[in-house]
Structure 1
Amino acid sequence: MLANSSVAQKFVDFVCHGVDDFCNKIVEHLRSEVTKITCREGLSPHAEAELQSLLKCVESPLNFLSSTHRREVFFQKTGLCVLPQKIVLGSRSSTKRTRDGFAPQPAQFSMQLIPLRRSLENLFTSEQISSHVKLPSDALLANPNPTVFTRALDGHHMRSLYRRVKEDYVAIELYYDDIEVVNPIGTKKGPNKLGVFYYCIRNLPNHMNCHSANIHLLCIGYTMDFKECGYEKIMGILQKEFSELENNGFSYNGRKLKVVLLNVIGDNLGLNTILGLKQRFWGVHFCRFCHASTETIQTTFVEDQFHLRSKAEFDNLTDQEREHYLREHGLSGSSVLNSLQYFHTFENYSVDLMHDILEGHGQHIANLVIRHLIRSTALSVDILNRQIAWFPYGRTDRKNRPTEIPADRLRGNPCNTVSQRAAQSWCLLRLLPLLLRRYVSVDDPVWAFYVEFLLLLELLFAPVIAADSLPVLKADIRRHLSQFKQLFPDQQLTPKSHFLVHYPRIIEEMGPPYFFWCMHMEMKHNFLKRYAHINQNYRNLPLTLAKKHQMYAANVVLSGSFIKAELDRGGIEWKVVSAEAWCDSLLLAFPQLSADSLLEATESLTFLGVEYRFGDVLILDFNLDRNVPVLGRITDIVEIEGVWYIVVGILTIRGRDADLNAYAVEPGNMFRFVTPGSLVSFHPLDLYEFDEGMLIPLRHAAQPEQTDQ
């Protein structure tokens, strides 16, 4: 209950008191019975005293947990929970009510910090963490020259850090964001706005870091307090935490393991704020990676043609030159994090698909393309919104179906968005060709531009990216931005559009951006928001939420919940092999079985948090000869000799529909039996049937080769 964000502390108190009262009533009844039996059987007073003493032991069994204070004392003594520490940031003038009215009184303001060393030591006591952590030396030994990027350990940055640190280390990814835990249009939205720092361990597999249990709270406080004392002071406190672990490490398995701040992620404003850059995105020097200006990004679309920011350039400046450099190159000051041995603002290879594309450049393009179609075809805003509302979304797309687009977003002055959340935006961008299939053609240069943009997105969202595809990606981004200016000369490329030119280099340094985007981190907000709503007590929210989160973290360690249930199935039924269309394929793959065999079957299978159901489409392989993925549709899920297999009917690919950016397929007569862990992509896809045939839009580019996800 303490770990559940839907359960308030007062309810835990109520349950503890209720259990104590129930047990005490039973004990009271047993005491009277013991007295009666003692008298009837003639037991000695000593025997009766022993029995009464035993009964006393079960009185109020939860009394030691019956209040918030008692629970905290218990967790501190046992070391099961790493409780937050109060860090005083400053003081401000306040008032205190007295008999004579109100009197001025200084009041401290603070934040809550969860000690990083103790947190890591606590986490690494879990076998789930320690057994899945992959250290840099292991990665270098297993794959000294990676030809594909699947995780941060494949990138140049972690490998170069290993050579600098000269020993194994734990890589920390830090995230910052502001969250509203109350009604965002209410009167309390400002005072209760919180600033939160989370972190994750980039040595863990990607599928673990996508789970909220592996996203940990580092510190939390009121945003207005952070602004009043200055973010540099906040970062100075965090810098001390990382500096200590850089030098001395933490105890793990009988050794000291150093900790390195690998990168900092967040939205663009948050990153600029905590990294000491100016909080503006127009004019000159707005970019974290280069010295671009609003004017130069309209004509230059290749990273090599920009003057890149570098640590070496910054370090070689004298104090006087550095002061001039800060003033002239868009920095509000040198970030205190730069004093760390292995981190520097200009080596923070951080971009974000969520904010840059799904909430930025992608929505801008969708808005412009829809406006163009409304002007040049029979499409109208009403028709578009009817299509959005009545489109037959597949199972996996339905949960993120877009909302109707307000008419004012598509009329009058051009607007940069289509009013969708990030997940809805991704769904809309992918399915827009199917939504508007009767109004589009690649003969239209604007639509051809949009389809090419979708192909670019498929590569950027890929969970594995081949090293030899990066020059192609670089050329595609250059062509895309150039075509944007040709087709929409009156439109300005925004900073979020410009960040695309840096993606190829950042992929080379950090691996696929899909695994370090903010979407994974922002899902953690739901826990804090839900508890704030349930608890309905807004006094010292940072302390309340930090304690609740740490109870949740302790429960994860004790229960071993760092990994979602590896395999979970739905209801069971029995199937006779001979009655199924895949009988012959099964007997070829498993000759030890017969046509009369009975197999357990289920309608759904969940593997590492991803659900697979009848009708879903899977990417099984990559056909190098045709340069297309091998696609299969789930027809059954059966257990064979203790292993669950997904039965997929191989789909025949007729080609790629250029107008709709989807693969045109038809059913085949071959079947394959695959396990969830062997899939090329863990994302199930939806198949859409129209008059044009059966179509499958991809979520990301299929790659010919993939390792760990």
Structure 2
Amino acid sequence: MLWRCVICLVFLTFSLKQLLSHINRMHSRSPDFRLLCGIDGCTEEYRVYNSFYHHVKRRHSQHLIESNRPGDGNHVGEQPQEENQGTHQQQDNIQPNQLPEDSSITNQQLCTPDTDEGQMDINQDGAATVQPDLTTQATAFVINARAKHRLSQKDMNDIVAGVQQYQSSLLDNLRGQMKQVLKNHSGSTSGHLQKEVMGIFDNFIDPFASVATTFRQNSVIKKQFSVVDAEEIPIARSICKTKRGGSKDFFIKDKVFHYVPLVKSLEQFLSHPRIWSMIDKGPQRCREGFFVDIVDGTLLKSHPLFSEIPNALQIVVYTDEIEICNPLGSFASKNKLLMVYYTLANINPKYRSKLAAIRLLALARSVDLRQCGVDVILNRIKEDMDALYHGVKMQTINGQKTVYGAMVSVCGDTLAQHELAGFKEGVGFAYSKCRHCECTFEDMQSHFNEDSFTKRTLKKHIRQTNEIEKANTDLLRNSLRTTYGINRRSKLVDMPAFDIIQQTPQDIMHVILEGIAPLEIKHVLNHLVQSGQIDLDSVNSAILGFPYSPLDVRDRPSPISVSTLMSNDGKLKQSSGQILVLLRILPFVLESLKANAYVHLIIELIEIVQIVFAPVLTIGTVSRLKSVIENHLKKWKELFPANSITPKQHYMVHLPSQIKSMGPMIRHVHAV
């Protein structure tokens, strides 16, 4: 019998056991998990996988008999190749809460059923893997519980003490039962056998003893999991005062940032066999005319390092700020942190966005960087980048190897990228508002093709930063900064083989889903409602009543209030995921207005989003994208002449060339 997963509608198998294994690994941890049994017409519905599994075991046990036909794994024509590759590697006797031998601690794997890389045993919350011995499993339990549930150290110690107490009681109970069994079956050898069996219980080593205290936990974690300690790098000093008794004392306090050494972090990362195998076999380029990953772009094909050493490490850096305190509270900006992460573009795209593949590189307080500048972090990163570019000897799973690497892109929202790259962070105050071309506000309103603008180049950028640095007066320096849209010469310019213009791609999530899409949807709906062509209540009813798929239901859009629709900002008060789902359903919501020019504007935007977020593109599709963006911006100016083209709308004209240079844009969003 052929079994199909009714949740993803992709997975096919001839074994019910393999189907249950697939549902357990891929869908059971979804917060919106819901499953209708459907076996033999059964109408039972479950929201917990374990309950569903035991239902199948009780009511439909006859189907659990292995029904795989001989040679099914070789009949590719009977099921899709990707599914075949995944199913023939699965174990047939996987039960709930039971993992394959090479699985991770939390069963949140970096692999999917359609992978030919095998199952990666990287933990979703870190890089730890479960070893056969009980001590490692106990350590893994402590790590996962503390990280997943955000437990304090005291709470974690109390839990470990409770587990040890329960474990001791369990052993005493088992010892008594075993002793009674041996007594009931006494014989000539019972004395010796009883002594041997009781010796096992008496000599049992408590696996939690090594993690019973905070010091022991930290020691075992560092020893077993090759933890890379962060460096504390001072960047400035400040004079602070403290009250001691009735007097006040002054003391000097260092302002520091924390940096995880890149070379050591990479060495630990490459010690994992699955990661090293992806690096070692080199890039998997697609055939000419297709774009699947960063390696298919023209940039890496002509790069001085990657053209000579194809399997060199492709380092993608991402930066963003996070707010620790309540963003509406009185300490909103005081404790904001700048986080710098990295990942490797050598990793298969299906694993690259997993938490285990994204690693912390640096952390600093934003208030300290306002005084010292972000270049203090880039200086330290540059030291490791220089060493990697010329080769560093690392201990890998296959012994000592000379590893090369370079930075391929710096990702983040516009504010973060401009801060790192030295451009004007608030583009509204700059004469040149784009980091890829030298467009003015007036040019933005009338030209919608990238070829109409003068492109920035690295050589010209360096010349402009030199002019700013050599300016004789502050007035001239500020004037040049405004004209060029540049604040300073960034340390990114000095990174080996790094082009600050080409290798800072636009973040399509921030540019489109948090900028262009809410703005245009809001204006279109506002016009349709005010002109009486549609009612806002009917739009909200359609949004609430739409039959969302299991993947989209968690990001279903919120109803749009009148105050939100009539406000002057370009926001809809929806998350980026909600905006993406809203774009998918809008053609159905506005189905009665198909011939409307404003609705056609939204249809064009949807086409742009589909192309830009596509994981695979052809050169013909990229050329079409350029044409669609140009026509879309022209139509926007025709329908809304009073509204200016915003910088984010202008950034769209550069997306086609960036795809040709660095592959699909989705690879730079899902890289983090």
Measured against the shorter chain, the TM-score band is: 0.5 to 0.7
Distance 2:654 2:211 in 1: 53
1:58 to partner: Cα distance: 6.1
For residues 491 and 127 of structure 1, do their structure 2 counterparts lie closer, same or farther at Cα, with a shift above 3 Å needed?
A: same
Q: Residues 118-143 of structure 1, C-alpha deviation per residue, up to 9 Å, x if partnerless?
A: 1111111111211223765x54xx65
Cα contact 1:349–1:510 (8 A) shared by 2: no
1:20 to partner: Cα distance: 5.3
Higher strand share: 1
Return the match for 1:422 from 557, 560, 576. 576
1:402 maps to what in 2?
Answer: 557
2:660 is aligned with 1:497: no
**TM-score, normalising length: structure 2:** 0.68
1:446 to partner: Cα distance: 1.7
For residues 418 and 316 of structure 1, do their structure 2 counterparts lie closer, same or farther at Cα, with a shift above 3 Å needed?
A: closer
1:558 maps to what in 2?
Answer: none
1:483 to partner: Cα distance: 1.1
Distance 2:661 2:408 in 1: 11
Return the match for 2:529 from 351, 374, 392. 374
Higher helix share: 2
Cα contact 2:505–2:658 (8 A) shared by 1: yes
2:341 is aligned with 1:216: no
Distance 1:106 1:57 in 2: 55
Cα contact 2:502–2:658 (8 A) shared by 1: no
Return the match for 1:5 from 126, 133, 148. 148
1:441 maps to what in 2?
Answer: 594
2:490 maps to what in 1?
Answer: 335
**TM-score, normalising length: structure 1:** 0.64
Structure 2 letter corresponding to 1:499: Y
Structure 2 letter corresponding to 1:309: R
Structure 2 letter corresponding to 1:196: M
2:383 maps to what in 1?
Answer: 240
Q: Residues 33-70 of structure 1, C-alpha deviation per residue, up to 9 Å, x if partnerless?
A: xxxxxxxxxxxxxxxxxxxx999986775444333333
1:469 maps to what in 2?
Answer: 621
2:298 maps to what in 1?
Answer: 156
Cα contact 2:458–2:501 (8 A) shared by 1: yes
Structure 1 letter corresponding to 2:427: F
Farther off after superposition, 310-319 or 253-262: 310-319
For residues 460 and 164 of structure 1, do their structure 2 counterparts lie closer, same or farther at Cα, with a shift above 3 Å needed?
A: closer
Cα contact 2:522–2:571 (8 A) shared by 1: yes
For residues 134 and 459 of structure 1, do their structure 2 counterparts lie closer, same or farther at Cα, with a shift above 3 Å needed?
A: farther
Return the match for 1:147 from 272, 280, 289. 289
The 5-angstrom pairing of residues 31-42 of structure 1 reads none
Distance 1:354 1:319 in 2: 33
The 5-angstrom pairing of residues 593-608 of structure 1 reads none
SS at match of 2:527: helix
Structure 1 letter corresponding to 2:499: H
1:15 maps to what in 2?
Answer: 159
Cα contact 2:465–2:486 (8 A) shared by 1: no
1:247 to partner: Cα distance: 2.3
SS at match of 2:661: helix
1:382 to partner: Cα distance: 2.9
Q: Residues 565-590 of structure 1, C-alpha deviation per residue, up to 9 Å, x if partnerless?
A: xxxxxxxxxxxxxxxxxxxxxxxxxx
For residues 135 and 333 of structure 1, do their structure 2 counterparts lie closer, same or farther at Cα, with a shift above 3 Å needed?
A: farther
Relative contact order (alpha carbons < 8 A, sep ≥ 6): 1 or 2 greater?
1
1:101 to partner: Cα distance: 4.4
1:478 maps to what in 2?
Answer: 630
Distance 2:248 2:531 in 1: 67
Cα contact 2:231–2:261 (8 A) shared by 1: yes
Farther off after superposition, 455-464 or 264-273: 455-464
Structure 2 letter corresponding to 1:502: H
Unmatched 5+ stretches in structure 1: 31-52, 522-709
Farther off after superposition, 333-342 or 447-456: 447-456
1:365 to partner: Cα distance: 0.7
2:73 maps to what in 1?
Answer: none
Structure 2 letter corresponding to 1:353: I
For residues 366 and 61 of structure 1, do their structure 2 counterparts lie closer, same or farther at Cα, with a shift above 3 Å needed?
A: closer
Return the match for 1:265 from 386, 411, 425. 411
For residues 288 and 99 of structure 1, do their structure 2 counterparts lie closer, same or farther at Cα, with a shift above 3 Å needed?
A: same
1:106 to partner: Cα distance: 2.1
Structure 1 letter corresponding to 2:143: L
Cα contact 2:351–2:357 (8 A) shared by 1: yes
2:661 maps to what in 1?
Answer: 509
2:450 is aligned with 1:293: no
2:260 maps to what in 1?
Answer: 114
The 5-angstrom pairing of residues 141-220 of structure 1 reads 146-162=288-304, 166-168=308-310, 169-220=312-363
1:267 to partner: Cα distance: 0.6
Cα contact 1:367–1:415 (8 A) shared by 2: no
Distance 2:160 2:404 in 1: 42
For residues 135 and 485 of structure 1, do their structure 2 counterparts lie closer, same or farther at Cα, with a shift above 3 Å needed?
A: farther
Distance 1:57 1:99 in 2: 55
Q: Residues 486-511 of structure 1, C-alpha deviation per residue, up to 9 Å, x if partnerless?
A: 11110011111000110011000111
Cα contact 2:420–2:492 (8 A) shared by 1: no
Cα contact 2:233–2:258 (8 A) shared by 1: yes
For residues 437 and 340 of structure 1, do their structure 2 counterparts lie closer, same or farther at Cα, with a shift above 3 Å needed?
A: same
The 5-angstrom pairing of residues 98-113 of structure 1 reads 98-113=244-259
1:102 to partner: Cα distance: 3.5
Distance 2:549 2:465 in 1: 60
Distance 1:200 1:513 in 2: 16
Distance 1:210 1:164 in 2: 22
The 5-angstrom pairing of residues 640-651 of structure 1 reads none
For residues 55 and 372 of structure 1, do their structure 2 counterparts lie closer, same or farther at Cα, with a shift above 3 Å needed?
A: closer
1:315 to partner: Cα distance: 4.8
SS at match of 1:512: coil
For residues 234 and 321 of structure 1, do their structure 2 counterparts lie closer, same or farther at Cα, with a shift above 3 Å needed?
A: closer
CA RMSD after TM alignment: 3.1
2:277 maps to what in 1?
Answer: 131
Identity percentage over the alignment?
A: 25
SS at match of 1:409: helix
For residues 520 and 434 of structure 1, do their structure 2 counterparts lie closer, same or farther at Cα, with a shift above 3 Å needed?
A: farther
The 5-angstrom pairing of residues 336-375 of structure 1 reads 336-375=491-530
Distance 1:29 1:393 in 2: 52
Distance 1:321 1:332 in 2: 8
Structure 2 letter corresponding to 1:248: G
Cα contact 1:385–1:404 (8 A) shared by 2: yes
Distance 1:458 1:317 in 2: 37
Structure 1 letter corresponding to 2:160: C
Structure 1 letter corresponding to 2:590: L
The 5-angstrom pairing of residues 611-622 of structure 1 reads none
Distance 1:385 1:25 in 2: 58
2:455 is aligned with 1:308: yes
SS at match of 1:292: coil
Structure 2 letter corresponding to 1:208: Y
Q: Residues 656-698 of structure 1, C-alpha deviation per residue, up to 9 Å, x if partnerless?
A: xxxxxxxxxxxxxxxxxxxxxxxxxxxxxxxxxxxxxxxxxxx
Cα contact 1:470–1:504 (8 A) shared by 2: yes
SS at match of 2:552: helix
Farther off after superposition, 345-354 or 492-501: 345-354
For residues 365 and 27 of structure 1, do their structure 2 counterparts lie closer, same or farther at Cα, with a shift above 3 Å needed?
A: closer
For residues 256 and 482 of structure 1, do their structure 2 counterparts lie closer, same or farther at Cα, with a shift above 3 Å needed?
A: same
Q: Residues 472-493 of structure 1, C-alpha deviation per residue, up to 9 Å, x if partnerless?
A: 2111111111111111110011
Distance 1:261 1:250 in 2: 18
Cα contact 1:349–1:509 (8 A) shared by 2: no
Q: Residues 370-413 of structure 1, C-alpha deviation per residue, up to 9 Å, x if partnerless?
A: 0121123342333322332233323232121001223122226x
Length, aligned pairs only: 494
Farther off after superposition, 5-14 or 286-295: 5-14
Structure 1 letter corresponding to 2:419: T
